[in-house]
Amino acid sequence: MLKVQGVTVKYGGLTALDKVSLEVEQGELVVLLGANGAGKSTLFKAISGLNKVQEGQIIFMDQDVTGWSADKLVRHGVIQCAEGRQLFAQMSVRENLVMGAYVHRRHKKVVEECLSYVFELFPILKEKAADLAGSLSGGQQQMLAIGRALMGQPKLLMLDEPSIGLAPLVVQQMFATIQEINRAGTTVLLAEQNAHAALQVADRGYVLENGEITLSGTKKDLLNNEEVKKAYIGA
């Protein structure tokens, strides 16, 4: 579904991504592991059209989408839930969700169906539909951010560090829900530092270090890899 081929992204003189290649097959849940500053967000922004790609190609569903605008990519089903949630704090939960469906705004029925799906997945959002997004707990805000991304009916859902700042129990629930979303048919690319929790639910993964992919493998390969254990699992 997604092929990133030799992608280089530079910020002025700094090479943030150096010929990065990775693939995500339809239906997979793939995790991208990397420490702070490794380049995970830079890669996500490149895939979603927010960063200029200096070298290489991004292929999505057999189409070369390199250089496409973020807006066009969203309409084609590449939807990112960015790090830091970026909710509209002064708008209600429901309004935030509906904003995520702006690509379907003329199709009220689709918006209602998406809302029902998100409310089924996150019942607490239904309970708090009229509350301001800014009044939610951290975990609930993360659910809302994921819910808003789902409102756009992603084919490829990219989640940038959804576990950041959440309590361990909430993290577990969050990953279980991400797995549920994937099993319902959405392909997921997940950027994480929390390797242990992320690998539990992933099919495969890649390790990004200083802008380069240094390792890739199945969930089992990565969970048993000594470097991964040392760097990300604390074994």
Minimum Å gap between C-beta 43 and ligand ATP is: 7
Site membership for ligand ATP, residue 177 (CB under 6 A) = no
Residue 165 as a binder of ligand ATP (CB under 6 A): the answer is no
By CB under 6 A, what part of segment 45-104 binds ligand ATP? Answer: 83
The residue from 29, 38, 118, 201 that contacts ligand ATP (CB under 6 A) is 38
- Give the bridge partners for 233, in sequence order: none
Min. distance of Cβ 46 from ligand ATP in angstroms?
Answer: 9
| 222 makes contact with ligand ATP (CB under 6 A) | no
- Residue 7's closest CA among 77, 57, 61? 57
The rounded distance, in Å, linking the Cα atoms of 152 and 97 is 9
Of 125-164, binders to ligand ATP (CB under 6 A) are: 161
Q: Count Cβ neighbours within 10 Å for each residue of 145-172 and write b for 16 or more, e otherwise.
A: bbbbbbbbbbbbbbbbbbbeebeeebbe
Sequence-ordered list of residues with C-beta below 8 angstroms from that of 113, at least 6 positions apart, any chain:
none
Cβ(46)–Cβ(21) under 8 Å?
Answer: no
CA distance 27 to 31: 13
Binders of ligand ATP: how many residues, by CB under 6 A? Answer: 13
Binding segment for ligand ATP (CB under 6 A), chosen from 23-31, 34-42, 59-67, 97-105, is 34-42
Closest CB to ligand ATP among 41 and 225? 41
Q: Could you tell me which stretch among 40-48, 69-77, 144-152, 222-230 binds ligand ATP (CB under 6 A)?
A: 40-48
Asked if 17 and 8 touch (Cβ cutoff 8 Å), the reply is: yes
Nearest one of 69, 23, 55, 34 to 192, comparing CA atoms: 34
Q: Which of 31, 39, 100, 149 binds ligand ATP (CB under 6 A)?
A: 39
Interface positions with ligand ATP (CB under 6 A): 11, 14, 16, 34, 36-42, 83, 161
